Amino acid sequence: MCLSYSLPWFEPNQVILWHCAHPEIGVLATPIEVLYPLFDWIRSGGLIEAHNSTFEEYIWRHVCAPRMGWPRIKNSQWRDSAAKAAAASLPRDLGGVGEALNLPVKKDKRGKELLRKYTQPKRLTKLEKELHGKDAILWNEDLAGLMELWDYNKQDVRAERRVSMAVPDLSPTELAVWQVTCKMNRRGVLIDVDLCKAALAMVAQARDKLNKELEEITGVEKGSQRKAVSEWLEAEELIALPDTTAKTLEWYLERGPKMSARARRVIEIVREVNRTSPNKYKRMLACVDKDNRARDLLVYCGAERTGRWAGRGIQVHNLPKGNLPYGLNMDHACEDVKSGDFAWCELIYGDVMNLIVSCLRGCIIAPSGRELITADYSAIEARCVLWLAGASIALQIFRDGGDIYCDMATGIFGRLITKQTARVITTDGKTERDFGKIAVLGLGYGMGYIKFLTTMHDNKIYLDRETILKMMGRETFEKYEAIVTKKLFPKESDFEKHREPKKSFRAAQRDATMQLRKLAEEREDARAIMHELALCKYTVDAYRSRYSEVPAQWKAQENAAIAAIQTGKAVKCGLVVWKVVGRFLKCKLPSGRCLHYCDPELKIAKTSWGESKPSIRFMGRDQKTRQWTRQATYGGKIVENG
């Protein structure tokens, strides 16, 4: 419909507009000559930048070049100001980054409304249906509105150019990563469409069977009628569910009050009928093109600050691992689902819904004559944090081909633990090594004992008092139980020997209130799980003692960042360098990539133990509210971002 552009030698707000003809209202097309400077720039190999450039790239590739005869743009010529913004930990959307940086030229907020009106067929009036037929396609075309659309198009280019001027360019390495991401997104992945369709048909059968069973038990026709099921449970089983989210249902099945077999089965059915994972099959079918490939699945620098990819569409990062019965592999399972034989699948696999979820990864397949290779780094987070901290003894375990998880378990339980000697500590077969693995992966970035408890429970590790006594020994257990009790339920008498008893007690009360609130949000009763909290606090201390270089690294990096903000000079700390450049506090990593913290400042803040110290503040997008706001960070979080 229209195109606006600006070239490097133009004035900052200078934009040239071209638009197509609108014969219905007598509007002629802009002469093609206005695009000649752009065409010359493209032919000379000049770079072409847009904000979220995939849209412009695809329109040019599939419309402008082949249909309109405009010059082809090579993949290597494209650049993206949204990618630059994301790499600098700024909002990816044009309006958001303009607001965040308070740029003098911002996005026109009318754009969405104008695009919706002038790029989609209009809703026909009764008269138009009579004149043109009820299936006619007519467009909104009025000169005043189109002129607004053209003005919006020009303003977008001005705003994009201002963003590009304000945000640092990608480094050569990051540019290569972005280009590889674009290549992957253009190519896409092949989807087994037959498997998707067969899986959805089998899901429907499984849900029908579950719903019939539910109706026989409760009289409620469908598990999706959550309110009716909740009312039945309360009336017939005296179970008052606060809600019917998957997390709540899991809690009642795994850790809730004792219930009858009938009530348990009803809750299981509601959980299974309402599982959302099978909906990914629908998403896959919605995403595939005519060649059965799904494209644009990765977002470059989608995870702010860390620079990791985020998923789009199918969310390939979040496909369930699956849980097939022992001895049965993915290939056989997928073929069984594609057979459409529900009775056979139920006989072999038992839980058909679990089978369907377990086959999700099998939907991504290799083209004929190719192999699909999967790879993963081994203990990558543990290796990196120990390497950055210079933990030479721990790193030697990797060099010697040892097992860092067993080493951590050895530090926790006070005896040599190997894969062969690790004892089972849960009813579902998890061992001391598994516990060590959770500790190593979770505690490298400043995680406290409350968060570690929820992490342990998320991994379905629940331990009774007797088991923990055997793991820790009575003396150590009682010591840590007393420590946790004092932290969560402080008494004024506990602080009589402190230099400022009342002040220390009030600080402890504030911290305890905050920690108890966190536990309550996870449906945890602190007094009922004091034995597990004691183990978690002991494990946190064991990690920080065994790999003492890691907490020392948290503190050192925080101090280095503070010094860089205070002095404006480059501050080297271990393998990274901190420096304030323009509006950004930058942390240069060993790879050469930089972490960015926008508009950094220091503010004196009180710690949970009552000490006053400088706190690093910066502008960023709040993970919960998604608002651009000032937030704080600390040593463990800084190291995690790296």
The pLDDT tens digits of the residues spanning 33-44 come to 999 999 999 999
Q: Is residue 176 situated within a structural domain?
A: no
Cβ atoms of 604 and 591 within 8 Å: the answer is no
Q: What is the mean pLDDT of residues 615-636?
A: 89
Residue 70 sits in the same domain as residue 154: yes
Neighbours of 154 (CB within 10 A): 20
Residue 184 lies inside a defined structural domain of this protein = no
The answer to whether residues 81 and 8 belong to one domain is: yes
pLDDT tens column, 447-462? 999 999 999 998 888 9
Q: Are residues 295 and 269 in the same domain?
A: yes
Q: What angle do CA 379, 382, 387 make, to 5 degrees?
A: 120
**Burial class (CB within 10 angstroms; exposed 0-12, middle 13-18, buried 19+) of 17:** middle
What's the N-to-C CA distance of the chain in angstroms? 44
| Amino acid at position 39, single letter | F
Q: Is the pLDDT of residue 560 over 80?
A: yes
CA distances from 15 to 60, 157, 161, 166 (A): 19, 7, 10, 18
Beta bridge partners of 586: 579, 596
Give 78's pLDDT tier (boundaries 50, 70, 90): very high
**Closest-CA residue to 191 (of 292, 289, 339, 316):** 292
Alpha-carbon gap, residue 447 to 637, rounded angstroms: 9
pLDDT over 80 at 67, yes or no? yes
Residue type, 144: A
374 lies in a domain?
Answer: no
Q: Is residue 438 part of a domain?
A: yes
Asked if residue 513 and residue 483 are part of one domain, the reply reads yes
Q: In terms of domains, do 505 and 571 share one?
A: no
Q: Do residues 156 and 285 share a domain?
A: no
Q: Is 525 found in the same domain as 391?
A: yes
Together in a domain, 133 and 11? yes
In a domain, 430, yes or no: yes
- Range of the structural domain that residue 159 is part of: 2-170
* Residue 175 in domain: no
Co-location of 505 and 409 in the same domain: yes
pLDDT tier for residue 303 given thresholds of 50, 70 and 90: confident
Among 121, 136, 170, identify where a domain stops. 170
The count of structural domains within the chain is: 4
Q: 424 and 527 share a domain?
A: yes
| The token pair that represents 186 in the structure block | 């253009």
The confidence score (pLDDT) of residue 167 equals 93
**559/537 same-domain check:** no
Domain boundary among 546, 564, 596: 546
Over residues 376-403, the mean pLDDT reads 91
Contacts of 62 (CB under 8 A, 6+ apart): none
Check residues 70 and 624 and name the one with the higher pLDDT: 70
pLDDT tens-digit profile of 530-539?
999 999 999 9
Q: With respect to residue 185, please indicate whether it lies within any of the assigned structural domains.
A: no
The answer to whether the CB of 544 falls within 8 A of the CB of 550 is yes
- DSSP code at position 23: G
Among the candidates 512, 546, 580, a domain finishes at 546
Q: Which pLDDT score, from 0 to 100, does residue 607 have?
A: 66
DSSP result, 316-363: GGG-----PPTT--HHHHHHHHHHT-HHHHHHHHS-HHHHHHHTGGGG
Asked, for residue 182, whether it belongs to a domain, the answer is no
pLDDT in the model for residue 609: 57
Domain identity same for 493 and 450: yes
299: left (phi over 0), alpha (psi -120 to 50) or beta: beta
Percent with pLDDT over 70 in the chain: 99
Nearest 5°: phi and psi at 265? -65, -40
Q: What is the pTM of this model?
A: 0.87
